[in-house]
Structure 1
């Protein structure tokens, strides 16, 4: 009887957690859809819903078709796909390394991709596919360097984070140097890109990012249970039957490819990868993978911040400035809390 009661209690708790996961995921999806609608409807001119739908269906309407299909739709799709990539990649690193500071934009991975992209823009005067390929390669090299330098007698997550922060500072210095030696006419475009912006998004820039997310995001989501087991520690994951080396390599390559392509497309939108995982974890709770909710949180952060930057102030600000304002206080709070707990 006691065993039956225990099983019943465990199953009831699991069903409750599943309902919570489904509810949170559904609400985040609904909010993302609402924000997508606002992205299409709002602008210098607010168009009626029926005209927006007619323009999206291919009907040519003076003024409306150009504004919707050439400006607003690419901007919305770029924010949606890039936000999902930032969110799910950031959550992957934070969960795998068991530390909320282990986000790609904190430990230097985003800075590596950014440095490669700025080099291509300012020095090589290239764009498009070359920038994307360079960003992915630089992101993978940055991960490899961080791992090599952080290896001592034993692997330490704290050492990895500190070395990652140091490499990030070095790469930011390199970016500053490139801005100093770059051609003057290219610097404004590079600075706008570095701030993280959806301005000037174009449909022909989306296929590489969209294909990358469609390819690697399902891999991360399917490995969600293994990722949760890695959070328990190396020995616990191995005892549960996880091939830790293969799982870790697969997750790292998938996350780096997504975040590098997103960075190459929109610039390094600050703190989206850093905030998405903790927010999703707080909303979903324990028991189920929060990879998909983290991606949805990333979408909502990017689209919501972009709407705030466009319409909440007299001056329009890039999305990266708004997310930076949101993320910086949380980073300070997290550092203070971890220092008090002795985790730093």
Structure 2
């Protein structure tokens, strides 16, 4: 049998065996990356010391592990999963492997909203969050409305999204150039996307918001799986595709903007994770769970590389993720050209 059917009373869930194997392997990989992230720092901590610190012991080194390293590691995992899910949402909606928030302008829109909060307002965490969400939502609405003429097409949405992304990038550059020097330096540093300095005060509310989006998306997972076969076919199975598409876009925007508000626009995780997860799981559509697990592993791994590469100086994780994503994009485009 290639699938298992789990039953409890009147409810049943069909799970592919390969998906179960992938989840188990990815869980082990993510746990290993998390442990390595807790061990690595200015002073190496053994796994035994890490487990003791998580249990509340360890004195000074234990405080460093619990208060400095743990929130950063958790942020990498949760934010990576959120970006992976956002990428899976938009690639399902557009039915295009290039349909991700960082390609179609949502990251740039969220960054525009955050820039306005930094340059015009005082740039508090609450203002950054609200600005990022509003900026991402406005960018998504613009792309959606511009691409909906004559019937919404995935290819049209991606092309228009790329154009909107280019215009927003130019606008963001203009805002930075017009800002005061100190504000501009802070904005440019934040633009790279970084988990440096992330603490418990920074992640509490975002984790709660993302948890809400994850639960909401889980309730839509069966409909998303049907919609992966095509919007027209999904409608014949009882899926309200137009309503579902709008809900998915809002969830994707929310996930992207929440991550951007804390860590800045982290590029290419949302683009690469869904397709890598799909190939590992060998699913016909872009699966949500493989995308989330792959995104968590990619961002956690990229953050470790960013810390080690020029140690003791920690690079922004966005620099590493961009390099990884650029290689992936070249491979993807080359494969599409050869297929064509």
Of 78, 81, 87, which residue of structure 1 is paired with 2:78?
A: 81
Contact 1:17–1:285 (CA under 8 A) maintained in structure 2: no
* Counterpart residue number, 1:99: 96
Flag the 1:234–1:50 CA change in 2: closer, same or farther, 3 A: closer
Q: Is structure 2 residue 50 aligned with structure 1 residue 52?
A: yes
CA distance in 2, matches of 1:200, 1:236: 47
Match in the other structure for 1:189: 186
1:271 and 1:53 mapped to 2: Cα distance? 33
2:8 corresponds to: none
Distance 2:50 2:185 in 1: 33
TM-score of the pair, normalised by structure 1:
0.90
CA contact (8 A) 1:82 1:209 kept: no
- Provide the rounded CA distance (Å) in 1 between the counterparts of 2:3 and 2:327: 34
The 10-residue stretch of structure 1 (13-22 or 196-205) with the greater mean CA deviation from structure 2 = 13-22
The match for 2:87 is 90
1:288–1:93 Cα change, 3 Å? closer
| Cα distance in structure 2, aligned partners of 1:341 and 1:66 | 53
1:23 paired to 2:21: yes
Alpha carbons 1:113, 1:136 under 8 Å: kept: yes
Q: State how 1:199-214 maps to structure 2 within 5 Å.
A: 199-214=196-211
Counterpart position of 1:38:
36
Identify unmatched segments of 5+ residues in structure 1: 1-11
1:231 aligns with 2:228: yes
**Structure 1 residue 326 displacement after superposition:** 0.9
1:259-270 equivalences in 2 (<5 Å) = 259-270=256-267
1:254 aligns with 2:242: no
Structure 2: state its 5+ residue gaps: 5-13
Corresponding residue number in structure 1 for 2:268: 271
Q: For residue 71 of structure 1, report the CA deviation from its aligned partner.
A: 1.8
Counterparts in 2 of 1:168-187, with a 5 A limit? 168-187=165-184
RMSD across aligned positions (CA): 2.0
**Residue of structure 1 in register with 2:164 after alignment:** 167
How many residues are treated as equivalent by the alignment?
330
Q: 1:298 matched to which residue of 2? A: 295
Instruction: Say if 2:92 and 2:285, in contact at 8 Å, map to a contact too.
Output: no
What is the CA distance between 1:249 and its match in structure 2?
1.8
Q: CA offsets, 1:132-187, max 9 Å, x none?
A: 11211221111111011112223222111111001101111111112111121222
Kept in 2: contact 1:123–1:182 (CA 8 A):
no
Task: Kindly provide the CA deviation profile for residues 306-328 of structure 1, in whole angstroms up to 9, marking residues without a partner as x.
Answer: 11111134553211111111111
TM-score by length of 2: 0.91
Q: 2:175, 2:54 → 1: CA distance?
A: 41
Alpha-carbon distance in structure 1 between the residues aligned to 2:90 and 2:176: 30
CA drift of 1:103 comes to: 0.5
